[in-house]
Structure 1
Amino acid sequence: MNLITLKNLIYSLSKAEKKSFSLLTGMQEGDKKYLKLYEYLLTTKNIDIENLEKSYTKNGLEAARKHLTHNLMKAIRQAENDKNVENRLIIDLKDAQILHRKGFVSESFEYLDKIKQTALNNELYPYFLMAARLELQYLTRLQLAGLDEFEMIKKQSKIEEILEHEMQVHRHSSLHEILLIRYWRKGTVNSLKEKTKLNDLLLEEYNILNNRNYRSFESQKLHLNFQSAYFMMIGDHEGSLKLFYELDALFQKNTHLWKDSPTYYIYLLDGILTDLCAMERFNEMPFFVNQLKNISSDSQDLNWQIELLATHHQLTIFNQTNQFQEAATFLEFQKEMIEKLTVNTPFNSQAQLCLTIAITHFWRQEYKQTLRFLNFMLNNYRNTFSYQIYVQSRFLFLITQYELANFDYLRYEIRSFERKLKADKQESFLENLLLEILKKLTQKPKNLLKLFEDFIKKIQALDDSSNQLRLFKTLLIERWLLRNKIDEFNH
């Protein structure tokens, strides 16, 4: 873990994790040079490697970095140890091994029985398999004392049943991942050839469902996820919407299986809201935003993430439905919370929220505020958030410079961005089209009205199945061109 990542990790620590780190380091003896590095990373804005190496010597800095990383990760693990079922199962497995090694055989088997039952009750099948295999190993060392052949076969059969379920889940997950990558890269399908390819995946899923021997929450979840993605890809939005509600109902029915670790449900709702936005079903989004807000977690990190995603999606609803005054009121109300969110959450999520806020300010013609949020993310977190957010942010930055009439600077930034896209091999028709628009606008053409009309027609003629159109939809590019067309017409 390099020093920048280490610094970011320190900033992400919750109060409980900081307390755990303090207690852990307080129990240690000897020279604690790594604590000086901790204080430095906690308080400095820009890391000066050269001065650090002078203070520590190069080898001393490396030793302090490793020691600090080790202690931070240990403190975080200790803070989380008893917070969810999986952590307790891991601890119980270790305890069972220790007891067996110390000669407390019956106590060790009691632990393993408890692990197996807890794992089955919570559908945490990998832990059942670990405990079941360990049990058979220990029994074999004891020459299978007290176990007849029927009981041994019964134990082996249960392991095989769970293994088969896990293999089916793996196959199902693989199909879902293939479907998702096709959807994210190509959008909806139109041609017969593409639909035939999709039907092949559908047939494979049918075979998995038809042959499954164990119905679980995970298998039901995968089926509904697969079907919703399939309907999205063939353009059946009503079918997808129905499945979104079924997915949510499945999670609500099985809260005991995920309440200790709600991460998957959080990101499921985030994905549903993103898809609803792409489908322009903004009236359906508030239900899922409320479901997101209603998730409770013992983890402060997850609570921050829930708050951030709910804020982002609520603001997106306002932006996409042209409710910019409501968006401004919402931002003012959330001002203190947003300041906390842009410190305590993963950088990709921070960047997403900053972009959404910047879009609100842009449409309220508050361009200084737009640039403040864009500069904050582009200058601080460029290498820590997704390329899609980066591209959208750069384009909004360029459009803002146009609105401020900074044409010389805009021409320079366009060239810089073009070089970046070419170097990263990320050019596409849509990016090139938008850059073409901006380049022509910087030339101050005489007939601006016709120019805006031409580009609006080009955008409207684009194949709506392309997932890359999210760039235009997120930034409301078509609406921006229409606004400029109207302004030019009025002049």
Structure 2
Amino acid sequence: MSNLSSLSQLIHALSKAEKRSFSQYAALQQRGKSYLSLYEIIRKGKSADIERDFMLANPDSDFVSTVQYLRTLLIKTLLTLRNEQADEELLLNGILEIKLLFRKGLIDDAFKLITKYKALARKAEKFDYCMLLEKMELQHQNWHQFDGIPDEGQLVKLQSHLRRNIQYELNLADHSALFELLYFRYLQNGNVLSDKDKDHLNDLVVTEMNLSGNQRFESFDLNRNHLLFQSVYFMMTGDHRSSLRTYYELDKLFGQYAHLWQDEPIVYINHIRGILNNLFNTQQVSEMDYFTGKLRVLSQKNPQLIIDQVICVAELKKSLMLRQFEKGIILIEKEFAQLFSHTDLLVASDKAELSLFAGLIYFHSKQYRKSAVLLRKIIYLEPTKNNWLWKMIKWLNLLVHIELNDYDYLQNETGSVERLLKKQSIYYPTDKALMHYVKRLPLCMNRKAKVSLAKECLTHIESPEKNRYEIQFLNTMNIQFWLSHKLTTK
């Protein structure tokens, strides 16, 4: 990400209070105010070329150095404004203070602070910091001839605490690794194709069951990883209702331990994203408003573009499921217009997801050109790691060009899509039926032949209720609705 993109994302993530405080802070600075001009250009979000507009207003200023200065000043201001530091920040600052005291020879004060921050680390379940503090304590007790340890029993106790925290971190690392591997497979391959393919996940499932069944420790992070593993496993095997139940358990856990994640809201945002995804796949869209409402509340204190992206995608999914396409267009062009003007600040997968569902709204509204423009911006970028998402984008792009009667493009792109599906092992029965349709369509010389081809394709595509392994693809693309429409369109 360029410095300008980083700066833009930082400015758009500021809360109203932070923007007000920054303006007051900047007014006290003696430096020339060209950086404030840049700040206002980015904050208003109306500039098509930020550098050009800045240089027109400030011809004697250097754009690159102003970007760097403004970014540095913003970060400095935000750090200064934090009235209440998070537990992790307190621990980091505490460790620096302890090191300083040891260097200056204030040994007793340093050991008192170690005791204080160990208690905080245990309360906040930051056992990695407990480990660091205990290691520091043992080192300095050794270097100062164990002056603060009354007997051997106390030393052995301190050593055992350190070993236990090391063992906990290893246990947490094992749990995290299993979830990360499973989630990576999900992003790469999507749902399994059959019960036989389901067995290929057994290596991770058995290991996770052994870890959970022989649990020596209890913490928010361990419980969260266990439930996340289960929920993703159920999603991969097409059991979205079980995945949803697991996510509800996870939601209770997040509610009980809100103080442990409130300073890292991305953890909770991704959790809500998982719930919304399962509600969509189980066609319970009426329940979505409750969880998008939680995100709206969260965005008041943490105005992040990713929150707007998750809310917008959920609302677009709801419009697709209810076939309220006009409402979806209002969301894109009015309610979330600012989000769509700043998609370059999103990570590739979030940008692709947003473009997919906006493209689907335009597609089903028969605004094919608008859908094509959105998809073109994504298609020619580097593919995202989420192969499942990338596949749907490629398919939608083909369907759009069918509606645009661009058969020359179809001929070139169809082979590319087929090679992609085979190479990445995500060639599902519905993909094969659609590929047959796309290949045969240019050969159909009249409406009767096209209707016959659409009927043939429909017979090979099961409903989402019957085909659990493709439920996400079928609900998202709404292929049956589109093909059924082909039977009646003249």
Q: Is the 8 A contact 1:262 1:297 kept in 2?
A: no
TM-score in terms of structure 2 length:
0.77
1:12 is displaced (CA, Å) by: 1.6
Aligned residue for 1:79?
A: 78
Superposed counterparts of 1:29-40, under 5 Å: none
In structure 2, the partner of 1:9 is 6
Greater displacement, 394-403 / 426-435: 426-435
Note closer, same or farther for the CA distance 1:392–1:423 as it changes in structure 2 (3 Å cut). Answer: closer
Q: How many residues align?
A: 464
Matched, 1:363 2:361: no
Q: Structure 1's 70 and 110: CA in aligned 2 closer, same or farther, altered over 3 A?
A: farther
Equivalent residue, structure 2, for 1:404: 404
Mapped to 1, the partners of 2:379 and 2:144 lie a distance apart of 63
Find the residue that maps to 1:167 and give its secondary structure.
helix
1:127 corresponding residue in structure 2 = 129
- Residue in structure 1 matched with residue 278 of structure 2 by the alignment: 275
**2:242 is equivalent to residue 243 of structure 1:** no
Q: CA deviation at 1:378?
A: 4.7
1:76-155 alignment runs, 5 A limit: 76=75, 79-80=78-79, 82=82, 84-148=86-150, 149-155=152-158
Distance 1:73 1:204, change over 3 A: farther
Partners of 1:206 and 1:478 lie apart in 2 by 39
How many angstroms apart in 2 are the aligned matches of 1:421 and 1:73? Answer: 48
Q: CA 1:428–1:231 in 2, change beyond 3 Å: closer, same or farther? A: closer
Amino acid at match of 1:361: Y
Matching of residues 395-474 of structure 1 within 5 Å: 395-405=395-405, 407=406, 410-412=407-409, 414-416=411-413, 418-419=415-416, 422=419, 425-426=423-424, 428-430=426-428, 434-446=434-446, 447-460=449-462, 464-466=467-469, 470-474=472-476
> Does the CA contact (< 8 Å) of 1:342 and 1:350 recur in 2?
yes
Identify the residue that residue 187 of structure 1 maps to in structure 2: 191
TM-score by length of 1: 0.77
User: How far 1:357 moved relative to its partner?
Assistant: 1.8
SS at match of 2:461: helix
Q: Secondary structure at the match of 1:445?
A: coil
- What amino acid sits opposite 2:154 in the alignment? E
- What are the ranges of 5 or more consecutive residues in structure 1 without an aligned counterpart? 30-34, 49-60
Distance 1:226 1:427 in 2: 23
Q: Which moved more, 1:178-187 or 1:153-162?
A: 178-187
Q: Deviations over 1:307-338 (max 9, x none)?
A: 22112112101202322234345446514443
> Structure 1: how far apart are the matches of 2:138 and 2:77?
30
Residue of structure 2 in register with 1:213 after alignment: 216
**Structure 2 residue aligned with 1:165, among 161, 164, 168?**
168
The farther-off stretch of 444-453 and 290-299 is 290-299
Higher relative contact order (CA 8 A, sep 6+): 2
Contact 1:361 1:370 in 2 (8 A): yes
Q: The residue matched to 1:429 in structure 2 has which SS? A: coil
The 3 A distance-change label for structure 1 pair 18 and 429 is farther
Q: 1:74 to 1:378 in 2, by over 3 A?
A: farther
Paired residue for 1:475, among 470, 474, 477? 477
Residue 59 of structure 2 corresponds to none
* Aligned partners of 1:308 and 1:353 also within 8 Å: yes
| Contact 1:308–1:341, Cα closer than 8 Å, also in 2 | no
| More divergent stretch after superposition (423-432 vs 15-24) | 15-24
- The verdict on how the C-alpha distance between 1:136 and 1:296 changes in structure 2, with shifts beyond 3 A counting, is farther
Percentage identity across paired residues of the two chains: 23
Q: Say if 1:310 and 1:105 are closer, same or farther in 2 by CA, change over 3 A.
A: same
The answer to whether the 8 Å contact 1:17/1:75 transfers is no
Q: Structure 2 CA distance, aligned partners of 1:192 and 1:367?
A: 39
Is the 8 Å Cα contact of residues 418 and 435 (structure 2) preserved in structure 1? no
Separation (CA, whole Å) in 1 of partners of 2:309 and 2:392: 19
Query: What does residue 324 of structure 1 align with?
Result: 325
Letter matched to residue 442 of structure 2: T
Q: Which runs of 5+ in 2 are unaligned?
A: 53-62
> What is the root-mean-square deviation of aligned Cα atoms in Å?
4.5
- Pick from 285, 288, 296 the counterpart of residue 285 of structure 1: 288
Counterpart residue identity of residue 168, structure 2: H
Match of 2:353 in 1: 352
In 1, distance between residues paired with 2:100 and 2:19? 27
Partners of 2:365 and 2:192 in 1: how far apart?
A: 33
